[in-house]
Amino acid sequence: MKRTLLLTLCLIGLMGLTPTAQSQEASEYQLKAAFLYNFALFTDWPKDGPKAITLCLFGEDPFGEALNQLGGKMIGQRMLAIQRKQGNDPLQACQIVFIAPAAIKRLPRVLETLRDAPVLTVADSPDAAQSGVMLNMAVVQGKIRFTANLRAAQAARLRINSQLLRLATEVIQ
């Protein structure tokens, strides 16, 4: 219970940081990398899943070193691994796929490839959650916010913790 409360407070703290304070605090994509980590912490995959959680970046990398720093961190009893994917690279071995803004035009193909697979899809492009992405980040009034598509997560047999859903600006059911 204490761990969950601490993680919630950490996530709330991250939401208050603004990209306009980039040089003082962290860049937008450093913060979004932290959000990705917290999204993983607050998501439950089916019990028969792999021993590691693989976060795959699909498309041109906007994160740089910030994403590499997540590699090796623990998500419950599983270690987080980072992979970068391009074009026709397979995504089915991933547990989390971040669709980079430069690759968003490929979103329908990515979602079709992952249909019904227990893969958490994340983006930071306008209307991505309405298009089927499970968690979509956006900068709103200088703060990072996110929309959750609970319907898409449930179809993939993923459970997004209610504490995370309470922080979403919109939950699509």
When pLDDT is cut at 50, 70 and 90, the band that residue 115 belongs to is very high
Strands 78-85 and 135-140: unpaired
Q: How confident is the model at residue 25 (pLDDT cuts 50, 70, 90)?
A: very low
What is the Cα–Cα distance from 149 to 118, expressed in whole angstroms? 14
Q: For the domain bounded by 2-172, which CATH number is listed?
A: 3.40.50.2300
Instruction: State mean pLDDT over 99-113.
Output: 96
Say whether pLDDT at 15 is over 80: no
Domain residue ranges of the chain, discontinuous segments joined by +: 2-172
What is the rounded CA–CA span in Å between residue 116 and residue 153?
A: 9
Mean pLDDT of the chain: 88
Residue with tokens 């912490």: 41
Q: Is the pLDDT of residue 106 over 80?
A: yes
Average of pLDDT values for 81-108?
A: 94
Q: For residue range 29-71, what is the model confidence (pLDDT) as tens digits?
A: 999 999 999 999 999 999 887 889 999 999 999 999 999 999 9
Distance of CA 154 to the CA centre of its chain: 15
